[in-house]
Amino acid sequence: MLDIQVLRNDLAGVAARLETRGYRLDTARFGQMESARKDIQTRTQELQAKRNTTSRQIGQAKARGEDVAAIMAEVAGLGEELKALEGQLEQIQQELQTFLAVIPNMPHASVPVGRTEAENAEIRRIGNPPVLDFEVRDHVSVGEHLGGLDFETATRISGARFSLLKGPMARLHRALVQFMLDLHTGQHGYTEVYVPYLVNAESMHGTGQLPKFEEDLFVVSAGSGDTERMHSGEGVAPEGMEGRAVHSSGKSQPRFYLIPTAEVPVTNLVRDSIVPLETLPLKYVAHTPCFRSEAGSYGRDTRGMIRQHQFDKVELVQIVHPEQSYSALEQLLTHAETVLQELDLPYRVVKLCTGDMGFSAALTYDIEVWLPAQNTYREISSCSNFETFQSRRMHARFRNAQGKPELPHTLNGSGLAVGRTLVALLENYQQADGSVVIPEVLRPYMGNLERIRKS
């Protein structure tokens, strides 16, 4: 969430920067709400001053033995008007918060201006795509040939955009998770955390998924036996009731959201708290499944494991001092890159343009891994600095050197998306006989198995 003082001090400047993201700020609406707020606050201050003066007059009149009934009636009237103004002020403040909640973050000055991914800036390429002197298969063909990928059964169990892994393929998926966690905790200094996969609306709001992206989420109403996909339009909560659902019995039930990424529960570890300065930076890593409705992606990546309703990620989160956040972002990016370097997978790093960044980000780097079957690079990690956008929404603070509460900067990145890493391994390490070579760094997690062959 943006600092409302920034809008008050430079509304035109904020609007211009947001315009580069393709977001048109309703400056007229903001001006109307601000004008109403100022009028109410001015009237409130005038009435409070008048009430104080009148109250003193009552004391003086009583001391002189005069009748104070009329003056007391006037004070009572002032109190009623003040109470009404307080209600109006609370309402306009709520309207301002609702207005702010859907405004994206302002891009950092270094972010290239652009509308689409075609205008992202390539930073570097690492590794060379493999030269395969046979007909290249995509990960679906490779996995099904080996008997380790079964989309037909997954569709029968759950529906489209789910996958089933078997045997050595399932173990390879697990090996990737263990390898990533060991790398980040053992070499990069992250603390591993195990977090809930169901979170409340406050947590989703804190990291920016709510209210703007509710259609992309899966929601569960506790005790109702119902799981709802928000983009279907069913079970959408009325305004102000995002954290509750009404059961058929008429009783209000808690609503939980399946996490779209571990970013949500891990970043919310510091929600509504003041972190001691000496504990910064906080560095967390978590492996979780992720659940996304993919409401806006129908018709895209329908084959295979690229875009699923359920997938796994190893997520990196840092909570840092504002003065250190951009050096921390470069560090976090390096940590995610190290996974691909250890796996010897070719990749490139791009800086996203203003129009391609996520809602909450001030600056984002994408890591894209080479997929031979598609003859292109595909995203496998996004590493972002959110500055104070999330911490302001979460009411997360730290005590600075002067002992005063201050908003920290939050960062996160995939280290990595496990399913897409598996896809990259199957395609880059495929052999002419249909087998897949296992990278050396993963073999200790695979019982020293060197290759997956068709059984």
Residues that constitute the known binding site for ATP: 292-294, 379-382
The residues, any chain, with a CB within 8 Å of residue 417's CB and separated by 6 or more, are: 311, 312, 313, 380, 381
In the numeric block, the tokens 């270094």 are attached to 110
Extract the annotated binding site for L-serine. 261-263, 292, 315, 412, 414
* 3-class DSSP assignment, residue 399: strand
CA torsion through residues 241, 390, 351, 108, sign: positive
Extract the annotated binding site. 261-263, 292-294, 315, 379-382, 412, 414
Question: Can you say how many angstroms the Cα of residue 194 is from the centroid of all Cα atoms in its chain?
Answer: 18
H helices present in 138-189, as ranges: 139-145, 151-157, 167-186
Give, in order, the Cα–Cα distances in Å from 7 to each of 88, 96, 105, 106, 344: 22, 11, 12, 11, 47
Neighbours of 362 (CB within 10 A): 24
Contact 167, 147 (CB under 8 A): yes
Strands of 347-351's sheet in order across? 121-126, 347-351, 363-371, 376-385, 409-417, 310-320, 282-291, 191-192
Q: How far apart are CA 336 and CA 384, in angstroms?
A: 12
The residues, any chain, with a CB within 8 Å of residue 214's CB and separated by 6 or more, are: 230, 236, 242
